[in-house]
Chains A and B, each alone.
Chain A
Amino acid sequence: MDIIFNKVSHIYQPNTPFEFKALENVSFHIQSGSYVAIIGHTGSGKSTLIQHLNGLVKPTSGEVKIGDYVITPEKKLKDVMTLREKVGIVFQYPEHQLFEETVEKDISFGPQNFNIAQEVVQKRIPELLKAVQLPENILQRSPFDLSGGQMRRVAIAGVLVMDPKILVLDEPTAGLDPRGQKEIMDMFYRVHQEEERTTILVTHSMEDALKYADHVIIMDHGKVYMEGPPLEIFKDQEALNNVGLDIPEVIQFLNKLESKFHISIPFRGQSVEQLGKEVAEAFKRGDKSE
């Protein structure tokens, strides 16, 4: 299922004194099966954009296509459930998607809505808990009596259980501890590849965009500012700085080595281990400043 935005604008509270244009003429084409990172400063329109993907908000003008499902300003959404079955969204604040009495009921809520047999869900729960690293004894607790990071994990499990064809993640690592961040992002990537899923990641982590995405869309004040493969986007430090963003830390580090020591190591996605080795070798060989 390709995703196509065609000149999409979105205005909040139109025709009131509070009218606010959050998206302006946004167009792009996301190929089925790709992993796209959406980046932009606070308030640039990222969350507004992704809420179009399951019809939570509609364009004020323009058109959104998800596979053959078309969303236009004029028409009422029809069979919106068929869309929501395919597009799973993990919201920016997990509190906004938790509401049941127990964690178990919360995770089962989506499937129930789509008439998936309870036994099927029950069978999947252990594997889901493992994916988000929660213990089984959490199932009977209230999702509101959990720590922030635990809530985040429940919210993620509640979306994964649906096996959505398109998985949309709005800053999914906020609130996760460092191990959780790494392992859950790796898990998303694994399923992305195995299931040929389309994954859309809204993130402030340039590192994650660089590591996982094959395409990056940069937003600025409601408009698409740049798009392309991560390595190309992150070459242009100045362009990013102009819209309040920065390049990934590892590239900053390599740039500093270059300007201070004239050591030039191109970034090709090396691990820290590999990178450190290359840097050490360069220093030892003596390709250093004169």
Chain B
Amino acid sequence: MSSFIEFKHIHFKYQQGEDWALKDVSFHIEDNEWVAIIGHNGSGKSTIAKLMNGLLFPQEGEIRVQDLVVNEETIWDVRKKVGMVFQNPDNQFVGTTVVDDVAFGLENHGIPREEMITRIDNSLRAVNMEDYYNHEPHRLSGGQKQRVAIASVLAVAPELVIFDEATAMLDPKGRATIMETVQQVRETKNVSIVTITHDLNEVTFADRVIVMNEGKVWFEGTPREVFKQHEELQKIGLDTPFVTQVSRVLESKGINLVKEPINHKELMDELWTLYSIK
């Protein structure tokens, strides 16, 4: 494995005289890795995302995408590799219809016409928006907007996709479908994924989690390692999923769970090992 993107001692502030939004942030994301970034409101997550594809530049430190150092000269090459779904989809729409919007990114990437049509169909179907080709993006429901924004980026299939709270307006089923789609894309192609999210169940899909607190990296580890920090997470405005919380209580009542379950299936399996009579 090699690093796809690397942050080296990044300091960033939006304006002179303000506090740093990011303080000495270092991390890297591997090829084909899925990393979740979590943290309280204002902890610097979206700022990291915008630095990743050259919408902002750090005052100190260096960001590398493969062999490119991200700066004004390289941003067009960087943006070919790094795609982003924004926190507010209205900021992202460029087309007057849903289908134009998805096509726009593909044209920009010089995708041939035949291939474009296939990709548009596939990506809109993947987010269940195939009935809305000729609707105006701005006249969609909140969740539909997010679906189209996701489709536009998936269609381009960049090497790194950043989802900045891209499923916040979706119903739980819709959210799960998108997560599965992303999972599939990752299994079939060499893409890296960054999901910025407040949805703790979404975090469990990631290989690794970066926890931000007040502009600094507070912790890095697997979802299981992160959710072990139960009380500490609560202190910095976060929490653990339902399954982790129940497991905590069960353990305190003397039920010995071995491996810190992070989803329903793992919890049920552990209980089964302990309590089923063979």
Complex interface bits, B256-278 against A, C-beta within 8 A gives 1, otherwise 0: 00000000100010011011110
- Contact B42 A150, beta carbon cutoff 8 Å: yes
The bracket for how many chain A residues form the interface is 35 or more
The answer for the CA separation of A44 and B64 in the assembled complex, in Å, is 43
Least CB distance from B250 to A in Å reads 5
A-B contact count (CB 8 A): 156
- Contact B277 A171, beta carbon cutoff 8 Å: no
Task: Specify which chain A residues have a CB less than 8 angstroms from the CB of B144 in the assembled complex.
Answer: 42-43
Least CB distance from B240 to A in Å reads 9
Contact A177 B39, CB 8 Å, known A43-B143, A244-B171, A272-B242: yes
Task: Specify which chain A residues have a CB less than 8 angstroms from the CB of B252 in the assembled complex.
Answer: 276
Q: Is A145 an interface residue (CB 8 A)?
A: yes
Task: Specify which chain B residues have a CB less than 8 angstroms from the CB of A206 in the assembled complex.
Answer: 172
The answer for the CA separation of A145 and B46 in the assembled complex, in Å, is 12
* Interface pick from B65-73, B105-113, B134-142, B218-226: B134-142
The answer for the CA separation of A182 and B238 in the assembled complex, in Å, is 10
Q: Is A289 an interface residue (CB 8 A)?
A: yes
Complex interface bits, A235-270 against B, C-beta within 8 A gives 1, otherwise 0: 000000000111001101100100011000000000
Please tell me which one of the listed residues A43, A92, A153, A260 contacts residue B41 in the complex, with CB atoms under 8 A apart: A153
Q: Of residues B90, B140, B243, B250, which shows the largest number of chain A Cβ atoms within 10 Å of its Cβ?
A: B250
Given contacts A180-B41, A256-B268, list 5 more A-B pairs with CB under 8 A: A93-B88, A148-B41, A276-B253, A288-B276, A288-B277
Q: Which residues of A contact B (CB under 8 A)?
A: 12-13, 18, 40-43, 46-47, 92-93, 95, 145-150, 152-153, 170-171, 174-182, 204, 206, 244-246, 249-250, 252-253, 256, 260-261, 272-273, 275-277, 279-281, 283-284, 288-290
Sort A-B residue pairs by CB-CB distance and give the 10 closest, nearest first: A276-B249, A149-B41, A42-B143, A280-B253, A178-B239, A179-B237, A174-B168, A92-B142, A177-B40, A147-B42
